[in-house]
Every structure is written in C-alpha cells, then in structure tokens.
C-alpha cells in the first residue's frame, strides 16, 4: 500500500513529499535551506467588491413579468447606442430588477460574451436569477447562430451555479425577440 503524505511540486514539476512520513511534520533540512536561500514571493490577496456606477431613473422598481417588460427596460437602458451591447439584469426572488450590468460593448454586428463575465457580477449582487439582453443595431432581432449557442451556454452555466436564466431578449427598432417566448431556453430546443 502506497502512502502519500502532503506533496509539493519543485521547479521541474516532479512531486516531492513535504514530510518524511505521515504524521512527521518537520520539513527536510534541504527544503528549509532552499526556502531561506530564495526570496519570498508575495502572493496577492484580493477583495472583490461590487461598485454602483450610477442608476437608471425609473418610476418604480421594475418587476419583470413578461418579455415585453424586459424589452421596455432594455430599450430605455440602451437608448441611443450605436453598437451592440450585452447586458444582464439581476433579479431577486420576485423577479424585481436589483441591478444592471453591461457585460460587453461590441461592434455593429457582434459582442463578445463569456458566461463567467455574466455571472461574476450576478453572484456579487446576490441575484436569484438573471435576464440577458442585447441590441442589434441593424434592427433585425432574429438571433444569430452565435446568439443561440451563447444562450444555451448561459442557461447551462446558470443551472450549475443555481442562478436561473429567465430570458434572453434581443431588441431592435421598436421590436424584440424573446428566447423564453419562443421556447428556446432549453438546450434541445435551440
């Protein structure tokens, strides 16, 4: 039976035992000497905070009951933009918007989005659910193949994290497309 005490990796990435034997906690003398000879390296310690940049004036705290509600808020928030913006609305348990995060600002035809960027701020904001949205400056709200694939990835990521993706809404000139309305939030449907 092989006994493996705690291990560390040396510079050649081979593994050396940290302790001579299990339960024996004095380091090898040559290890101590190597540590003393090398300069200590500072390991960064991070503190993550969520910073409120501004607020969107709105008559009440919006509760999202339908894709039309999302479209109205998204049109208001992205009013006057000439490039594609991908945003995430953070929702509480009653689907009230508790925050908005612009994940990406792209070009006229594309915006780069990764699930980690969508959910990082949602986790910090203690969101129970998110609603994704973006604009198509061309006015054509039909989702591209990339939009569909990204939505599937976001829904799968949300399931893993326990943060439900309620919808993904694409807005154009006075119109919108809702993945939830079209039944496309399921990986098999898209």
pLDDT in tens, 162-176: 999 999 999 999 999
Q: Is the pLDDT of residue 51 over 70?
A: yes
Pairwise CA distance, residues 159 & 134, whole Å: 21
Q: Give the pLDDT band (50/70/90) at residue 107.
A: confident
Residue 106 within a domain: yes
Q: Among candidates 148, 161, 158, 160, which has minimal Cα distance to 187?
A: 148
Both 26 and 83 in a single domain?
Answer: no
Asked if residues 165 and 154 have their Cβ atoms less than 8 Å apart, the reply is yes
Q: Give the pLDDT band (50/70/90) at residue 22.
A: low
Residue 162 within a domain: yes
Residue that wins the pLDDT comparison between 108 and 92: 92
Residue 61 within a domain: no
Both 118 and 166 in a single domain?
Answer: yes
**Letter string b/e over residues 112-130, b meaning 16 or more CB atoms within 10 A of that residue's CB:** ebebeebbbbbeebebbbb
Q: Average the pLDDT over 106-117 and give the result.
A: 82
Number of domains in the chain: 2
Both 128 and 167 in a single domain?
Answer: yes
Residue 97 within a domain: yes
Average pLDDT over the chain, rounded to an integer: 83
The whole-model pTM stands at 0.72
Residues of the domain holding 126: 67-178
Residue 58 within a domain: no
Residue 142 within a domain: yes
Residue 105 within a domain: yes
């Amino acid at each position: 039976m092989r006994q493996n005490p705690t291990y560390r990796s040396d510079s050649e990435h081979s593994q050396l035992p940290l302790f001579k034997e299990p339960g024996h906690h004095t380091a090898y003398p040559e290890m101590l000497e190597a540590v003393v000879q090398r300069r200590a390296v500072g390991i960064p310690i991070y503190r993550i905070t969520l910073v409120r940049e501004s607020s969107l004036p709105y008559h009440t705290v919006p509760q999202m009951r339908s894709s039309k509600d999302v479209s109205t808020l998204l049109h208001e928030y992205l009013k006057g933009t000439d490039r594609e913006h991908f945003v995430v609305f953070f929702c509480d348990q009653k689907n009230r918007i508790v925050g908005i995060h612009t994940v990406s600002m792209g070009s006229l035809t594309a915006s780069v989005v990764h699930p980690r960027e969508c959910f990082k701020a949602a986790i910090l904001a203690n969101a129970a659910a998110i609603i994704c949205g973006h604009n198509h400056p061309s006015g054509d709200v039909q989702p591209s193949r990339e939009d569909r694939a990204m939505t599937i990835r976001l829904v799968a990521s949300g399931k893993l994290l326990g943060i439900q993706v309620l919808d993904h809404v694409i807005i154009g000139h006075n119109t919108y497309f809702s993945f939830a309305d079209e039944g496309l939030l399921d990986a098999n449907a898209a």
